[in-house]
Structure 1
Amino acid sequence: MKKPIVAITRPADRAKKACEIVEKLGGSAVLAPTLDLKPVNTDSLKNLVENVDSLDWIVFTSPTTIDSLNLFYPDFLENLNCNVAVIGNKTGSLLKKQGVNVDLMPDDFTAEGLVEEFTKLDIKNQTIGIPRTASARDTLPKGLEKLDNKVILAEAYKSLFPMDEKSVEELIRKIENSEIDAITFTSPLTVHNFFKISKDNEKLAELLSNNLLTVSIGPITAKVLDEYNVEHIYPDTYTVPDMMELLFKVWRDSNGRQD
C-alpha cells in the first residue's frame, strides 16, 4: 500500500508536530499554510497586563497567546495570581511546562465546552481576562457575560491571510492532479482562506469530497466545511493527534489494510 500524502493547512509555526505525526504513522506530509499568526503587543493586551491583579480568571485559548505574552511580557505567567482556564490539552500542557497550574479544562475542547463548564460550576460575577486573536468567535466572551461575568478581551496576536499564497496554489494544483490523498483543517480560517485562494470553489469542494479524505479537527471547523459543501470527518476528541489517528484509520480501512 502506498504512503498517503497528507496536506497540512495550519500555520507553519504550529505545523511541525502535525507533520511529524503524519510521518510517524506512515504518510508523507505536504505543508501549505492557509493561515499565518503574528504576535502583537496591542493596547488591549497592555491593558490586560496592567490590570492582571484585578482578574479572578484568565482564559488561554491557544498556544499562540502564550507565545505572545512570553515575547512581550516575559514575567507575566510566573506572576499570575488568579484561576486559569484553557481550551485544549496542548495549551494546558504548555502552561504546565512553564509552571502555571491549570484550574479548568473542558472535556469538549471548544468555546462552547468551556462556557458549559463555567455554567456547571456556577462561576458568576467574576472578572475574566481573555487574550486571543481579534478574529475569534464571540461565543466565549458572550457566553461568560451571560453568566454575569465581566470579560476583558485583549488582542494578543493577529490571524493573517497566508503570506505564501503560492504554496496554497501549488497544493490546489496537486489536488486537481490527484497527487494528494488527504487534507486536514484545524480552524475555520484555514478553510475560509483556502477557498479564497481557489479560483473554482465548487470544483475544489467536489475534489475534496470525492477524491480526498478531508478531516476537520472538530465540529466548529466542520461547520465551515459544510458551508462549502465539503464532505468530511472529525474525531471525538478535538486534537491534532486524534485527528491524524482517525485519518490514518479511515485511510487504511478504505484501502483494505488491517492493522
Structure 2
Amino acid sequence: MSKPVVAITRPKDRAKKACEIVRELGGEPILAPTLDLKPVNTQSLKDLVAKKDELDWIIFTSPTTIVSLKQFHPDFLKSLNCKLAVIGNKTGKLAEKEGMTVDLMPEEFTAEGLIEEFKKQGITGKTIGIPRTASARPVLPEELEKLGNKVILAEAYKSLFPMDENAVKELIEKIENRKIDAITFTSPLTVENFFEIVDDKQKIAGLLSDNLLTVCIGPITAKVLDKYDITYIYPDTYTVPDMMELLFEELDR
C-alpha cells in the first residue's frame, strides 16, 4: 500500500516539524507554502522596545515574533520585566528557550481564548505590548482595550504572498490529478493565498471537499474554508501535532 501524500501549506521556515510528523505517521509530505513570513525591524517595533519599562504585559502570538525580536533586539528579550502571555505551545516553548517565563497561555490557542483568560483574571488598566504581523486580526487589541487596557501594537514581521508560486501551482496540478490524499491549512492566510493562485476556485474547492481530506488547525482557519464551501475537520486542541494525528486517524478509517 502506497503512503498517503499530505500537502503542507505552512511557511517553509515553520514546516519542518509538520513534515517530520507526517513521515513518522507513515505519510509522504509535499511542501507548498502558501504564506511566507519575513521578520522586519519596523519603527513601531523600535518604539515598542523603547517603551519596554512601561509594559505590564507583553503578548507573543507566534514564534516568528520572538525570532524577529531576537534578530533585531536581543537585549529586549533578555531584560523584559513584565508578565508574558503567549498563544500556543510552540510559542511558549520558544519563549522559555530564550529564558523567559510564561505567565499565561490559554487552553484554546486563539486570540479569543486569550481574551477570555484576561477577562477571567480581571486584567484591566494595564499597558500591553503586542508585537505581531500587521495583517493579524484586530480582535485581540480591540477586546483588550475594551477591558480598559492600553495596547501598544508593533509590526514584528510581514506575512507575504508565497515567494514560490510554482510550488503551489504544482500542488494544484497534483490535486487535479488525484495525487494528493490530504491537505493542511494552519492559518486563514494559508487558505486565502492558496485560492489567490487557484484559477478555477469552484473546481478546486469541490476537489478539496470530495476527493481528498482537508484538515485545518482550528476554527479561525475553518471560517475561511467555509467561504469556499469546503468540507473540513480540525482537532480539539489547535496544534500541528494534534492536527496531523487527527488527519491520519481519519485516513485510517
Quick check: TM above 0.5? yes
Q: What is residue 257 of structure 1 aligned with on the other side?
A: none
SS at match of 1:37: strand
Q: What is residue 140 of structure 2 aligned with on the other side?
A: 140
Amino acid at match of 2:64: T
Structure 2 length as normaliser, TM-score? 0.99
Distance (whole Å) between structure 2 residues aligned to residue 134 and residue 116 of structure 1: 23
- Per-residue CA deviations over 1:112-160 (Å, capped at 9, x if unaligned) read 0000000000000000000000000001001100100000000000000
SS at match of 2:108: coil
Deviation at 1:98, TM superposition (A): 1.3
Amino acid at match of 2:245: E
Question: Is residue 228 of structure 1 aligned with residue 224 of structure 2?
Answer: no
- Sequence identity percentage: 73
Deviation at 1:75, TM superposition (A): 1.3
- Per-residue CA deviations over 1:174-195 (Å, capped at 9, x if unaligned) read 0000000000000000000000
Question: Is residue 19 of structure 1 aligned with residue 19 of structure 2?
Answer: yes
Distance (whole Å) between structure 2 residues aligned to residue 58 and residue 109 of structure 1: 16
Q: What is residue 56 of structure 2 aligned with on the other side?
A: 56
Q: What is residue 44 of structure 1 aligned with on the other side?
A: 44
Deviation at 1:99, TM superposition (A): 1.0
- Which blocks of at least 5 consecutive residues in structure 1 are unaligned? 254-259
Structure 1 segments of 4 or more deviating over 2 A?
A: none
Count residues with an aligned counterpart.
253
Structure 1 length as normaliser, TM-score? 0.97
Distance (whole Å) between structure 2 residues aligned to residue 56 and residue 74 of structure 1: 19
Question: Is residue 242 of structure 1 aligned with residue 247 of structure 2?
Answer: no
- Per-residue CA deviations over 1:34-88 (Å, capped at 9, x if unaligned) read 0000000000000000001000000000000000000001111110000000000
- Which blocks of at least 5 consecutive residues in structure 2 are unaligned? none
Q: What is residue 178 of structure 1 aligned with on the other side?
A: 178
Deviation at 1:2, TM superposition (A): 2.5
Question: Is residue 113 of structure 1 aligned with residue 131 of structure 2?
Answer: no
SS at match of 1:76: helix
